[in-house]
Amino acid sequence: MDTVKEEKSLEEDNEFEGSEITISNPNNVINSRSHDMDGSHDCVTNSRRPSAIIAALRRPSQAIALSAAHAVMNQRRTLLRVIENPNYNSEAIEDRHDVEEGANHRTCNQKMGFNALTTILSALYAKLLVVLGIAIPITDTISTDVNFSFFQGFYLYLYFGSIAFVAYMYITLVKEKPMFSIKKGYRKEKNRRRSLKKLSLSHLTQLWQPTLERYGSLYLRLGAIAFGIGSMVYSGLELARYFELRNNQDCDSNVLQAVTPASRMLLTLVQIQFIFLNSKDIELNRHKIVARFGLMHMIATNLCQWLYVIVEETKHEIMHLAELSNTTSMQHKNHCVTGFVMGSVVQSASTILFPCTIEYSLICAVILYEMWKKIEKTRKGRLHTKSSCLNHDRSQQSQQNPGIFEHSHRKSSNHISVDCSNAHKGLFAGILVIVLTIISLILFFVLNNESGTTEQQKRLNKMIAKIEVNAVEIILYLTSTFAVVLAMYRMKNLKYDRRTGGTSDGLDITLLVVAQTGMFIYCMFSIIGCYYTIAFHSSAALVAEVFSFIQTCLQTMFVLDGWWRRCRNLEQTKRKPGRELVTFLIIANMAMWTISAMEKNRAEFRPTLLQFFGNWPWTIITHISMPLAIFYRFHSTICLFEIWKSAYKIKGPYGKHPLLPYLQT
């Protein structure tokens, strides 16, 4: 067969060589064959003998002849244009084209330079606000000469500036929405009437991808809304405390103490609406300068709010620890903060609520930064054309074959579909962990708050409570470490594909790595302090912190690797290797999150470390690191659930195959 093909190609080459003799002389071509030059041009460019073109490209002599033919045709086009239009000047047209191209190039460079300048200025503006957000609350804590109005006025500027930016974006959205609706309807009607080439089903399913931006997974957004509610409750309690203190002449009160938490509550509500609910409707690229500075202002506001809460809670706990040994003025000041009904409620609720504010601010700051980076990086022209073509062809094929797209239609990003197969063992083991954690919490609060008959009995009860918590922590860390190692081993044969996912994936990974920093800070300081004070207490705390550090490192490695794992074939989809272990890790991290949020987030949880480092340093270390550590446990459950849900699905060229449930059985 190969010999026959070669002989045929040689015959075709000889025929093509014979035809080339007639165009070897350009003058003859122009004079004698000008009336059918268009036909010869079609013959050369669209030959009915493809092997002749390939042979011409392979043979140098014929390639030269082919290029000469193209040069002749270009000359003929120029001559015809001169005959038709005596004023035709090719050089002038080329010069004009070069001038226009140069002007467009300069305009493009100016726009790029201006965009770079506004980006740099917005980043510097946010940096300045964050530095002020660090300096002002620390100065207010250390010095007694700071004007309270200036201190609160800075935060009011942050809050009202963010609210004004969100209001501006919504006003422009409302004004431009009718115009967008008209354009959208016109485009839809135009695309419906336009005739398109039919696409094959495999090509269509590969290209049928949505272009909506999604910042964060659904579970992260739900968690952020829950944290936002906790933050609003915290601000509401502060507002109620002002109304209790304003009629007391002995305590300092200012109307700004009511305006600041009220504006913070309003900003929290507006920000949830802006980021998590309606961000897909707002076109940031239409107002690039305002969007850059506005988003950076909101990022700085969230970071300053984070720092403010840390400083305030640190100050209040230091006052609580020193109220018995300090001066009368300190006791009087502390009485104004915690001595009344709402003050004591705020003091008690802040144990749970202030981490909510920190975690909410962290999530919002990272998501807003992702939105800021995406300004003028989304190119919607080609995507819109492609999606409109696909919509038209999709409607045509669905009319011809009803039900063909029933399984390939994309679900809403807020739609939850859960397959709980191969997860019951991990679920039962997780239930045992939850029961153990609840018992630990009950014993801790009962023993820690037990008055006892004597002072010695009271100290003994508190020591037993802490030993019991350390024992439960060691059990949790050991079992979860074993589960992580075994899950990594069982999932190693799954396909590693970095192409899956999108914006929300990078966001979740960034949040996890940032939150792990808090775990490292707390574990390192605890290990160092426990090592040097091991002679004064049991070694259970040291062992617990060492295992916590090991478990954190291994679990982060597992999440970063398992995030991109997918099943290779239907056999792995049916077996789901490691899924029961991932189920157990989800519940174990929920249990560890509960212990950290309820028991370990106070500096007095480790009294030996409080004595070793001192009240101020250890309280600051705890209030900086523990909110991040608490958020790490919370966000680990989200990332592990994403692995649990996505790693055991097949996403081939045909999407979800309609017969996949029957093939698995």
Amino acid identity, position 480: S
Mean pLDDT, the chain, integer: 74
CB 138 within 8 A of CB 311: yes
Domain borders along the chain are: 2-84, 118-171+215-381, 423-664
For 522-560, the pLDDT digits (tens) are: 999 999 998 888 866 668 889 999 999 999 999 999 999
**Please, what is the angle between helix 148-193 and helix 90-142, to 10°?**
150
The pLDDT value recorded for residue 522 is: 93
CB 329 within 8 A of CB 311: no
Label residue 59 by pLDDT band (50, 70, 90): low
Alpha-carbon span 275 to 225, nearest angstrom? 10
CB 304 within 8 A of CB 155: yes
* DSSP secondary structure, 548-588, as one string: HHHHHHHHHHHHHHHTTEE--SHHHHHH-TTHHHHHHHHHH
For 619-634, the pLDDT digits (tens) are: 889 988 988 999 999 9
The pLDDT value recorded for residue 407 is: 43
**Please, what is the angle between helix 37-45 and helix 60-84, to 10°?**
140
The pLDDT value recorded for residue 183 is: 62
Of 10-24, 40-54, 330-344, the range with the lowest mean pLDDT is 10-24
The pLDDT value recorded for residue 420 is: 65
With CA atoms as reference, report the closest residue to 623 among 510, 550, 473, 521: 521
The 3-class secondary structure across 361-423, one letter per residue, is HHHHHHHHHHHHHCCCCCCCHHHHHHHHHHHHHHHHHHHHCCCCCCCCCCCCCCCCCCCCCCC
Alpha-carbon span 70 to 658, nearest angstrom? 53
With CA atoms as reference, report the closest residue to 447 among 436, 460, 456: 460
Which one is predicted more confidently, 214 or 571? Answer: 571
For 63-76, the pLDDT digits (tens) are: 566 666 767 776 67
Alpha-carbon span 648 to 664, nearest angstrom? 12
C-alpha of 303 from chain center: 17
- Is residue 92 over pLDDT 70? no
Beta bridge partners of 496: 565
Alpha-carbon span 374 to 367, nearest angstrom? 11
Which one is predicted more confidently, 49 or 220? Answer: 220
User: Average pLDDT of 622-649?
Assistant: 88
CB 314 within 8 A of CB 620: yes
Beta bridge partners of 495: 566
The pLDDT value recorded for residue 392 is: 44
Please give the torsion angle defined by the CA atoms of residues 554, 555, 558 and 562, in that order, rounded to the nearest 10 degrees: 180
User: Average pLDDT of 114-132?
Assistant: 92
Percent of the chain with pLDDT over 70: 62
The pLDDT value recorded for residue 108 is: 82
Measure CA of the first residue to CA of the last residue in the chain; give whole Å.
Answer: 47
| DSSP label of 200 | P
Q: Which residues contact 17 (CB under 8 A, 6 or more apart)?
A: 62
The pLDDT value recorded for residue 353 is: 82
For 409-464, the pLDDT digits (tens) are: 444 555 555 566 667 788 888 899 999 988 888 888 888 777 656 777 777 887 88
User: Average pLDDT of 507-526?
Assistant: 90
Beta bridge partners of 566: 495
CB 620 within 8 A of CB 565: no
User: Average pLDDT of 48-59?
Assistant: 54
CB 261 within 8 A of CB 235: yes
CB 445 within 8 A of CB 461: no
The pLDDT value recorded for residue 97 is: 65
Label residue 386 by pLDDT band (50, 70, 90): very low
For 466-478, the pLDDT digits (tens) are: 888 889 999 999 9
Q: Which residues contact 442 (CB under 8 A, 6 or more apart)?
A: none
The pLDDT value recorded for residue 585 is: 94
The pLDDT value recorded for residue 315 is: 82
User: Average pLDDT of 210-229?
Assistant: 74
For residue 315, what are its two tokens? 């100050």
For residue 229, what are its two tokens? 């509610």
CB-neighbour burial class of residue 105 (10 A; exposed 0-12, middle 13-18, buried 19+):
exposed
Instruction: List C-alpha distances in Å: 158 to 42, 301, 362, 408.
Output: 69, 6, 16, 46
Alpha-carbon span 77 to 83, nearest angstrom? 10
Which one is predicted more confidently, 56 or 453? Answer: 453
The pLDDT value recorded for residue 347 is: 72
Alpha-carbon span 161 to 167, nearest angstrom? 10
The pLDDT value recorded for residue 85 is: 63
CB 607 within 8 A of CB 536: no
* DSSP secondary structure, 43-70, as one string: HHHT-S-HHHHHHHHHSHHHHHHHHHHH
Residue found under tokens 């912190």: 545
Alpha-carbon span 640 to 423, nearest angstrom? 13
- Is residue 349 over pLDDT 80? no
Alpha-carbon span 284 to 470, nearest angstrom? 50
Label residue 157 by pLDDT band (50, 70, 90): very high
Alpha-carbon span 548 to 526, nearest angstrom? 11
Which one is predicted more confidently, 215 or 287? Answer: 287
Beta bridge partners of 565: 496
Amino acid identity, position 586: I
User: Average pLDDT of 297-318?
Assistant: 88
Q: Sign of dihedral through CA atoms 451, 454, 459, 462?
A: negative
Label residue 396 by pLDDT band (50, 70, 90): very low
- Is residue 394 over pLDDT 50? no
CB 69 within 8 A of CB 19: no
